[in-house]
């Protein structure tokens, strides 16, 4: 598989889910869980449990969170942990082991039902995914989000194809997004994707309207395009270098995520191939070594 840009991965995922509807995600039986995930799995957890009482942790805070809430765990106020991991490997394995050690029922939400984590979880909720370049994780988390929001993938895809970007889009050095407050979790997902794909080369950042007001745009620069996704941006960025995209009334987390990812993919198209140049070395060398392993990661993560 060619190392496609992120926008093509978005289109592929939406086409896949148009023909293969994600299963309905029923979280009604889960009450006050400790939700754990790494990177955008963490942000996906925030979205999935946004209307339920829950505690959240990631790979850096999970151990301390377990210690902090021991009194509630011992009293059975917190009885289960939900670990979200597309691969079901890496940190999710020790996270499930730690949850079980602390007598928490461990549920894994994953796209890899045969993974190491799935083998030790009490329950596994499995989703479909398609082959994608390492770190993209478009279909993985999008399937989980669509299972909650019930958005129609074909409608999202049709909307994305109608979105027009400024004629001078490729000329900017940096790009920022401003989103409605209710989609704040998407901001972190766009931030992470920008850092993964561009590192120190291009700045891609995203803020909710509320966060944007807190001095995030002190520096107005003609080299930065500030894109409002579903907002009318009157204040942030150079007034001559703002661009707003209106959203349909049916918009929800799935559309906001894919729209942001699609635009980041268009940035990839018009800039040097930073990700394509460096990802193979990362996957074969220092990426897995950071986990204490010499087994290389897949540059193209297979689907199921």
Q: Give the tens place of pLDDT for each residue, 219-273.
A: 999 999 999 999 999 999 999 999 999 999 999 999 999 999 999 999 999 999 9
- State whether residue 179 is helix, strand or coil: strand
Q: Is 237 left (phi over 0), alpha (psi -120 to 50) or beta?
A: left
- State whether residue 238 is helix, strand or coil: coil
HSE toward the beta carbon, residue 209, CA cutoff 13 A? 13
Q: In the sheet where 105-110 sits, what is the strand order?
A: 55-57, 34-37, 80-85, 105-110, 123-126
The confidence score (pLDDT) of residue 40 equals 95
Domains and CATH numbers, the chain: 24-126 (3.40.50.10490), 165-276 (3.40.50.10490)
pTM (2 decimals)? 0.94
The confidence score (pLDDT) of residue 25 equals 87
The confidence score (pLDDT) of residue 2 equals 76
User: Which tokens go with 93?
Assistant: 């394995």
The answer to whether 106 and 99 have CB atoms below 8 angstroms apart is yes
Low-confidence ranges of the chain (pLDDT < 70): 1
The confidence score (pLDDT) of residue 1 equals 60
Separation of alpha carbons 158 and 14, rounded Å: 10
Helix axes 184-198, 274-284, angle to 10 degrees: 80
């Amino acid at each position: 598989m060619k190392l496609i840009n992120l926008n093509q991965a978005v289109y592929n995922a939406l086409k896949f889910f148009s023909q293969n509807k994600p299963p309905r995600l029923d979280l009604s039986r889960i009450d006050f869980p400790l939700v754990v995930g790494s990177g955008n799995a963490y942000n996906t957890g925030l979205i999935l449990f946004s209307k339920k009482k829950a505690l959240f942790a990631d790979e850096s805070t999970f151990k301390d969170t377990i210690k902090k809430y021991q009194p509630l765990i011992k009293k059975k106020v917190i009885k289960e942990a939900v670990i979200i991991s597309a691969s079901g490997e890496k940190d999710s394995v020790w996270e499930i082991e730690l949850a079980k050690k602390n007598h928490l029922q461990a549920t894994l939400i994953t796209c890899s039902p045969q993974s190491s984590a799935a083998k030790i979880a009490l329950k596994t909720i499995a989703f479909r995914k398609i082959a994608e370049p390492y770190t993209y994780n478009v279909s993985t988390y999008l399937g989980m989000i669509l299972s909650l929001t019930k958005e129609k993938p074909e409608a999202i895809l049709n909307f994305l194809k109608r979105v027009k970007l400024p004629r001078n889009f490729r000329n900017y050095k940096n790009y920022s997004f401003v989103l409605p407050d209710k989609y704040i979790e998407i901001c972190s997902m766009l931030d992470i994707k920008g850092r993964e794909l561009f590192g120190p080369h291009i700045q891609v950042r995203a803020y909710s309207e509320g966060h944007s007001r807190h001095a995030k745009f002190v520096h107005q620069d003609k080299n930065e395009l500030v894109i409002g996704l579903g907002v009318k941006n009157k204040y942030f960025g150079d007034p001559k270098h703002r661009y707003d995209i209106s959203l349909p009334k049916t918009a929800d987390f799935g559309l906001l995520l894919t729209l942001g990812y699609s635009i980041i993919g268009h940035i990839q198209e018009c800039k040097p191939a930073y990700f394509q140049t460096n990802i193979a070395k990362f996957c074969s060398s220092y990426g897995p070594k950071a986990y204490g392993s010499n087994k290389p990661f897949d540059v193209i993560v297979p689907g199921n």
